[in-house]
Structure 1
């Protein structure tokens, strides 16, 4: 990054200075940032003009520019003029917070490992007392940092359960933090819902995972969002549907982690392999999806509940239900559900006999 602009305003960067640590935002910072956003850039040798336009003392504008640079909301352009250009708030937050998050989680992980060693020295009682502990994390930033740290130290195997969810962007943002393990060539398995096969955006995300070498299979219903690292650490996610804060539970207990891995292995055995060149649903996938819809319809669930359980939109779910009604010649949803459940049960029995 060019430092010409910074030298003109006589400012030296401090990674965690007053701007980074402060809790309140000066109105002058907002005025100067909005001015820069409107203008597209600020020339350091023309800050006097900015001061006149805003009706502020030059010293105030110089101080605001320095803090905006420190907050990563302004950056020095690499061009010959060395002007300062505005940065999107989301990008600035990521640039400023990421190093602090990484340092925080490394310290936390070190503390956990020290506790484990001390508990081991204390004997079986001490080991069991710590091993049964579950740490709870709240908020996107904390969970993202937790997953990233776990992925960075993962060396043998990564297993991910990725259900369908109303807030797809939130789920993708969290699991994107596991990319470090894929970058290192760690063997990775992802269990996803069938619906990701028919959604264009979801297929694009899955294709990227395949390009990284991940193995992917799909099932009708993924019961829980979770990731398991090296069969030693599990992170179980709880994602709200009412706009609340997501939570994560970090578990190191060998029995709980082993149970989760066994559950994933069972899902994996019965899941359908995802092929990037496969258009939409294959026959076995379509049948499995219809079985799941039929079971939920037979229990009297509404379209909204069926869609939520299977991680698809209500509109898509109703399209599948309409197809079932037509194929089975049913009058009511409940009748279709019962007929479909009986139909698939007979099919399964015939298939088992033939095998």
Structure 2
């Protein structure tokens, strides 16, 4: 069996007698015949034969004669080194093949880049479907060298990227993320964000983010679709649009609040969150609409509205909206 077909399960195969047969060979210095070993061990010949075949496969036995009837035990460390060297050789060959594929396909990159630049209609293209999007993001992440900027709404496909972001951070790529305040209130989400901050990501939060998006190396913009039922992205190759996204991200970054730990909850953003709720209430939005715009459950939203009404000493939702407008939005 070659290393391309050997799996971790191969080491557990070989029947019930693998350990007994190897110990037998080690004690005696060799197996002089399968039939003799079976008789000495008091087991069936077929079971010993399967064990010997398996031990030969994983290099713990070697054939010691010209007719293949005598087998000698091998030091397990030497057997492991032999197997590992085969794996390392195959890994090297596969990496070499990957480099060859990239080199051969890469010669067409200038043609693609020139076509995108020359044809305005080709500056944006679309991918639909979880597998296709996941494959593209893996390729874009592998090609990223310096920085990825992230706008994360809490829906639309950008929430499943913790592992890819950790891989980028491990390669020294900077990762800056702006997500919604509501992520501070969810324990599971906070723990995912903590994994990223522990790895070096910098995360800020805002009350509202209009759409999930990524910017790779200040040039490739990826916008996630708004349909939660089907994952889709729009890839934008236009440098002018990329610069707009960079400017917008930096503006949002300046007004966002750092996520400095997983135990602070909403404490650091209470005023900002109340102001966002007040602004939406002042526009006459229902609790459900306010909750949807801020990316939180209706129950949580109503809890914050109740706190706001108590703080304002308001007796009705309408009165709270009016007083909130005066408190937070003096120019309204």
TM-score by length of 1: 0.61
Tell me if structure 1 keeps the 8 A contact 2:183–2:189. yes
Contact persistence 1:221–1:310 (CA under 8 A): yes
Residue 299 in 1 paired to residue 295 in 2?
A: no
Q: How has the CA–CA distance of structure 1 residues 326 and 234 changed in structure 2, closer, same or farther, with 3 Å as cutoff?
A: same
Output the CA distance in 1 between the equivalents of 2:121 and 2:129: 24
Query: How far apart are 1:156 and its partner, in Å?
Result: 0.8
Match of 1:184 in 2: 171
Distance 1:134 1:111 in 2: 22
Q: Conserved in 2, the CA contact under 8 Å of 1:182 and 1:188?
A: yes
- The equivalent position to 2:180 in structure 1, one of 193, 202, 213, is 193
1:225-265 deviation digits (Å, cap 9, x = unpaired): 00100001011001424xx2121001110011110111000
How has the CA–CA distance of structure 1 residues 117 and 223 changed in structure 2, closer, same or farther, with 3 Å as cutoff? closer
* 1:151–1:179 contact (8 Å) kept in structure 2: no
> What displacement does 1:134 show?
1.0
Please say if 1:3 is aligned against 2:5.
no
**Deviations, residues 75-100 of structure 1 (Å, cap 9, x unaligned):** xxxxxxxxxxxxxxxxxxxxxxxxxx
> What secondary structure sits across from 1:240 in the alignment?
coil
- Say whether the 8 Å CA contact 1:131–1:254 is kept in structure 2: no
Count residues in correspondence: 242
- Give 1:276's match in structure 2, choosing from 243, 252, 261: 261
User: Which segment is superposed worse, 323-332 or 185-194?
Assistant: 323-332
Task: Say if 2:211 and 2:224, in contact at 8 Å, map to a contact too.
Answer: yes
Q: CA deviation at 1:213?
A: 0.2
Residues 327 and 179 of structure 1, relative CA distance in 2, 3 Å threshold: same
Q: 1:159 aligns with which of 138, 146, 149?
A: 149
Deviation at 1:5, TM superposition (A): 7.9
Computed over aligned residues only, the root mean square deviation of the Cα atoms, in angstroms, reads 3.1
324-333 or 228-237: bigger deviation: 324-333
2:159 aligned with 1:172:
yes
Which residue of structure 1 aligns with residue 311 of structure 2? 327
Pick aligned residue for 1:116 from 108, 112, 119: 112
Cα-to-partner distance string for 1:162-192 (whole Å, 9 max, x where unaligned) = 1133x7xx54225643443222121110001
Correspondence 1:8-23 to 2 at 5 A? none
Which residue of structure 1 lines up, in the alignment, with residue 239 of structure 2? Answer: 254
Partner of 1:266: 251
Match of 2:201 among 181, 199, 214: 214
1:186-222 C-alpha deviation (Å, 9 max, x unpaired):
1110001111112111110110110110111111111
- 1:146 aligns to what? 136
Residue 335 of structure 1: how far off its partner (Å)? 2.5
List aligned pairs for 1:202-241, cutoff 5 A. Answer: 202-241=189-228
Q: Which runs of 5 or more structure 1 residues have no equivalent in the other structure?
A: 9-44, 46-101, 120-125, 349-355
Q: Secondary structure at the match of 1:3?
A: helix
How far apart, CA to CA, are the structure 2 residues paired with 1:118 and 1:267?
A: 32
Alignment correspondent of 1:135: 125
CA drift of 1:6 comes to: 8.4
Separation in 2 of the partners of 1:229 and 1:223?
A: 19
Distance 1:270 1:3, change over 3 A: same
SS class of match (2:296): coil
Mapped partners of 2:160, 2:108: distance in 1: 25
TM-score of the pair, normalised by structure 2: 0.65
**Cα distance between partner residues in 1 of 2:314 and 2:164:** 46
Q: CA deviation at 1:271?
A: 0.6
Change beyond 3 A, Cα 1:294–1:118:
closer
